[in-house]
Structure 1
């Protein structure tokens, strides 16, 4: 399950980076929600498409990059990752539906920056 969830998140990021916003419903449930900084960024697939289209317009060269996966909780169908986007690192928790699609994304700025 963990590998399938990781593959879904990576393919979702690749689709966003390729500006394939209309194809993101392969990875997201129609009732998907994203919470960013404790506020809803979107509450369904149509709002998600609009959200990512606006992100592309505002930051055309920015890409989503999965820095690493931190933990997988198969009992709650969640996967945590550190995601780099537009020079910011986000601690992101993805929750998956029984069908294996992303149904919730909870994202917050990472406050401490690790240097490797």
Structure 2
């Protein structure tokens, strides 16, 4: 299962980096929630599309990168993600269909 969760996260990053936010339903649950540093960024797929669209406008050259991946259990995984000179410790929770249901992201460090 870990390979498929890693592939889902990688696909999420590819979709987002290519700015195809209209394809997020391929990897995100309809009721996906993202919390960044304990602040809710979005609570459904439409808000996710709006969030990533705004990120693209604010940081047009920034790219998400998967730096590290660890499977926790059948429904969750930990990853280290780099974006816009920041590194985030991120926990992904998956629904039974393998789509991302929840993202908990915490700033680890700002890169110089």
**Length-normalised TM-score, structure 1:** 0.92
Match of 1:31 in 2: 31
Cα 1:112–1:46 change in 2 (3 A) is closer
Query: 1:74 and 2:73 equivalent?
Result: yes
C-alpha spacing 1:42/1:74, structure 2 compared with 1 (3 Å): same
Could you state the TM-score of these two structures normalised by the residue count of structure 2?
A: 0.95
Runs of 4+ in 1 over 6 A off after TM superposition: none
Aligned-partner Cα distance in 1 for 2:41–2:22: 18
Residue deviations 1:2-43 (CA, integer Å, cap 9, x gap) = 000000000100110000000011000000000001110000
Report deviation, 1:92: 0.4
Post-superposition offset of 1:111:
4.1
Q: Is the 8 A contact 2:64 2:81 kept in 1?
A: yes
What is the aligned counterpart of 2:100 among 95, 99, 102?
102
Give the match's secondary structure for 2:22: helix
Task: Give the CA RMSD over aligned residues.
Answer: 1.3
Match of 1:89 among 87, 90, 99: 87
Aligned to 1:110, the other structure's residue is in SS state strand
For residue 68 of structure 1, report the CA deviation from its aligned partner. 1.0
In the alignment of these two chains, the number of paired residues is: 111
